[in-house]
Amino acid sequence: MTAALPSQAVFDAIADPVRRDILAALTERPAGVEEIAARFPISRPAVSRHLKLLLRAGLVARRESGRNNIYRIETAPLEAVRTWMNDIWQGRLALLKRIAEGDS
């Protein structure tokens, strides 16, 4: 069974190393923009722009807590990428097995 290809927005979002690092930070626990920005050598507005793109891709969710926005990771889109990648590798491994067994 072949998995559906994840959206281009997900691939675009995880293509950037800063956004991947933000996602990794959010696996520890939800956090606000200030807390996330403190972990990176970039400005708070730059972190906010990265979070906005992650939000549009469905990789993070946001909830308001007073005057702050708290972000948490949404794993479903990443699971779709993992499933898609596994399907590709399984196909390649099946081909390798057939070749090794002389059934090309």
Q: Is the pLDDT of residue 91 over 80?
A: no
Annotate 32-71 with DSSP letters as a single string. EHHHHHTTSSS-HHHHHHHHHHHHHTTSEEEEEETTEEEE
Tell me, what's the pLDDT at 40?
95
Q: Is residue 34 part of a domain?
A: yes
Phi, psi (rounded to 5 degrees) for 83: -60, -45
The per-residue pLDDT for 33 is 94
Band the pLDDT of 104: cuts 50, 70, 90.
low
Q: Residue 78: CB partners within 8 Å, gap ≥ 6?
A: 10, 14, 23, 59
Q: What is the band of 38 on the pLDDT scale with cuts at 50, 70, 90?
A: very high
Condensed to tens digits (0 to 9), the pLDDT of residues 55-88 reads 999 999 999 988 999 999 999 999 988 888 888 8
Residue found under tokens 């998995």 = 3
Instruction: Kindly state whether residue 84 falls inside one of the protein's structural domains.
Output: no
Asked if residue 94 is part of any domain, the answer here is no
Instruction: State the DSSP H helix or E strand holding residue 4, giving kind and residue range, or none if neither.
Output: none
Please say if the pLDDT value at position 100 is more than 60.
yes
In a domain, 27, yes or no: yes
Report the number of distinct structural domains present in the chain: 1
Which is nearest to 73 in space by CA: 44, 45, 36, 34? 36
DSSP bridge partners of 62: 71
Per residue in 7-16, pLDDT tens? 889 999 999 9
CATH number of the domain within which 33 lies: 1.10.10.10
Query: What domain range is 60 assigned to?
Result: 8-74
- The pLDDT, as a whole number, for residue 95 is 74
- Structural domain includes residue 91: no
Q: Is residue 5's pLDDT more than 80?
A: no
Number of CB atoms found within 10 A of residue 102's CB: 6
